């Protein structure tokens, strides 16, 4: 009886994951995972996107221009492939994260005893995708409720976040002063693309190359920023993003175009 209960509970968990996966429109694929030395090494990014499409997902590379219907990044999933260190064996598993970096689904672990890295990685990835394919993904058409910071009962969209004044919490009828985060100009040749990380984002160019790393703060329109070993902040001002830092005791402010 106890075994039957555990099986039913496990089945419910699997169904729960499948339902949450189904609420996302598409998946963003990075060109490089942490255990790789270069972009698309061993064609891992290519394999990832191909397997996602086979499993029924719509998938886009992180540096790819995507259709306007996918402009809300919180309606998308962000895939990551993790390496589990093991003796005499290669182990990889897949994580799907939301726009806040929260893990939505983790695949089964793919294992290989092949000594050649390329063969081992590709074999592990194919095995890990067996459990992903088993989810039988189909977009539900539901709107995903953001899981990040909220003000009152209104969910905030990270692409256009409003910061409310303290007075707004005391008087609902009083209009709040807001600061809206910038809207990216996709025609800008210097546009950087934001990829979610555990603590924030990394900004890549079209090469693609990691140009800047961002760490979240308590404000949605301000990040701790690191570029070429220089630490400063990335702030939203006048409908634009600015990387600000000190050089020779003087404040330097550089305009940065970012697509989150």
End-to-end CA distance of the chain, in Å? Answer: 50
Confidence of residue 16 (pLDDT cuts 50, 70, 90): very low
For residues 213 and 195, what is the distance between their CA atoms, to the nearest angstrom? 10
Q: How confident is the model over 151-185, as pLDDT tens digits?
A: 222 333 333 333 433 443 343 443 444 445 677 77
Report the percent of the chain where pLDDT is more than 70: 78
pLDDT digits (tens, 9 = 90+) for 18-28: 447 999 999 99
State the residue for tokens 């209104």: 154
- The SS3 call for residue 51 is helix
Mind listing the domains of the chain with CATH numbers? 2-133 (3.30.160), 150-259 (no CATH)
pLDDT at position 174: 38
pLDDT, position 175: 40
Q: How would you class 188 by CB atoms within 10 Å of its CB: exposed for 0-12, middle for 13-18, buried for 19 or more?
A: exposed
Of 89-98, 144-153, 192-201, 217-226, the range with the lowest mean pLDDT is 144-153
In tens, the pLDDT along 28-41 reads 999 999 999 999 99
* Antiparallel, parallel or unpaired: β 26-29 and 76-84: parallel
Cβ atoms of 9 and 84 closer than 8 Å = no
Q: What is the pLDDT of residue 161?
A: 36
Kindly indicate the confidence band of residue 87, based on its pLDDT and cuts at 50, 70 and 90.
confident
């Amino acid at each position: 009886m106890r075994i039957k209960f555990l099986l039913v509970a496990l089945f419910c968990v699997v169904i729960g994951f499948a339902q949450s996966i189904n609420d996302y429109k598409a998946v963003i694929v990075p060109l490089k995972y942490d255990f790789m030395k270069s972009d698309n090494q061993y064609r891992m990014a290519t394999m990832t996107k191909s397997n996602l499409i086979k499993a029924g997902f719509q998938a886009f590379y992180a540096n790819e221009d995507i259709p306007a219907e996918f402009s809300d990044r919180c309606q998308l999933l962000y895939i990551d492939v993790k390496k589990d260190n093991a003796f005499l064996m290669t182990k990889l598993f897949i994580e799907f994260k939301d726009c806040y970096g929260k893990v939505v689904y983790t695949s089964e672990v793919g294992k290989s005893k092949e000594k050649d890295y390329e063969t081992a990685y590709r074999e592990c990835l194919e095995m890990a995708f067996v459990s992903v394919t088993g989810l039988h993904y189909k977009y539900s058409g539901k709107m995903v409720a953001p899981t990040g910071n909220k003000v009152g009962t209104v969910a905030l969209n990270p692409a256009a976040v409003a910061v409310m004044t303290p007075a707004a919490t005391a008087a609902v009828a009083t209009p709040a002063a807001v600061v809206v985060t910038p809207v990216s100009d996709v025609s800008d040749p210097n546009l950087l693309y934001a990829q979610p990380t555990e603590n924030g984002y990394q900004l890549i160019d079209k090469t693609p190359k990691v140009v800047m790393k961002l760490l979240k703060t308590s404000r949605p329109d301000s990040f701790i920023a690191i570029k070429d070993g220089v630490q400063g902040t990335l702030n939203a001002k006048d409908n634009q993003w600015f990387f600000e830092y000190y050089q020779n005791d003087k404040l330097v402010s550089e305009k940065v175009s970012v697509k989150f």
